[in-house]
Amino acid sequence: MGRITFDLDDLRSFVTGIELGSFARAAQRLGRSTSAVSAHLKKLEQQVGAPILRKSGRGMVMTEAGEMLLGYARRLLELNDEAACAVRGWDLHGTVRLGLQEDFGETFLPQVLGSFARAHPRVRIEARIARNAELLDWVINGQLDLSLAWDSGVSTPFSRRWGNA
């Protein structure tokens, strides 16, 4: 068997479809047609030499090969994005005051900040962990530049909803 070189667009279609739970939504998010996303998936299956998805009821589930590929695909995409930031963002510098809830601070923060620090070594992140209400007050009062928190139901000019959990 020859060497396999995965296409990042194919991998991004696969990962996005799995994360969104729908390849139609993945196509929409990626600005592609559903047939293009289907072609990406078919190409991946040909390269892997086995199905990566199988029908289950009205949806699709990953096969063992698909689950294995997903982990590697995420790592490859993360490295690609990190490299792109590193070569394009070399001039980023300064301090970002970031606020997070404990949930994010324990799970999300270490991995994301590690990747960001490698890509942008001249940016210093000051992370503060607190409750939603405190974080919102600190953003409003200029004590934080950015905060990630669960939706508190309070809408401000500073609030942006990024997704649902």
Are 19 and 73 in the same domain?
yes
Q: Which domain holds residue 103?
A: 90-148
Per-residue pLDDT of the chain (165 residues; tens, 9 = 90+): 689 999 999 999 999 999 888 899 999 989 999 999 999 999 999 999 999 999 988 888 999 999 999 999 999 998 998 888 777 766 678 899 988 888 776 776 777 788 778 777 788 888 888 888 888 888 888 899 888 877 666 665 555 655 555
In a domain, 126, yes or no: yes
Both 42 and 56 in one domain: the answer is yes
Do 63 and 122 sit in the same domain of this protein?
Answer: no
Burial of 145 (0-12, 13-18, 19+ CB in 10 A): middle
State whether the Cα torsion 149-151-154-155 is positive or negative: positive
Task: Please check whether residues 75 and 13 belong to one and the same domain.
Answer: yes
Tally the domains of the chain. 2
Query: How many Å from the N-terminal Cα to the C-terminal Cα in the chain?
Result: 41
pTM more than 0.75: no
CA 29 to the chain's CA centroid: 13
CB 28 within 8 A of CB 20: no
Note whether residue 25 is domain-resident: yes
pLDDT at 74: 94
- Is 163 a member of any domain? no
Supply angle C-alpha 117, 121, 122, rounded to 5. Answer: 125
CATH number of the domain to which 126 belongs: 3.40.190.10
Per residue in 24-50, pLDDT tens? 999 998 999 999 999 999 999 999 999
**DSSP label at 52?**
S
Handedness of CA 61, 77, 126, 138 (dihedral sign): negative
Same domain, 81 and 99: no
Q: Is residue 100 part of a domain?
A: yes
7-17: per-residue pLDDT in tens? 999 999 999 99
CA distance 119 to 86: 4
Residues 129 and 64 in one domain: no
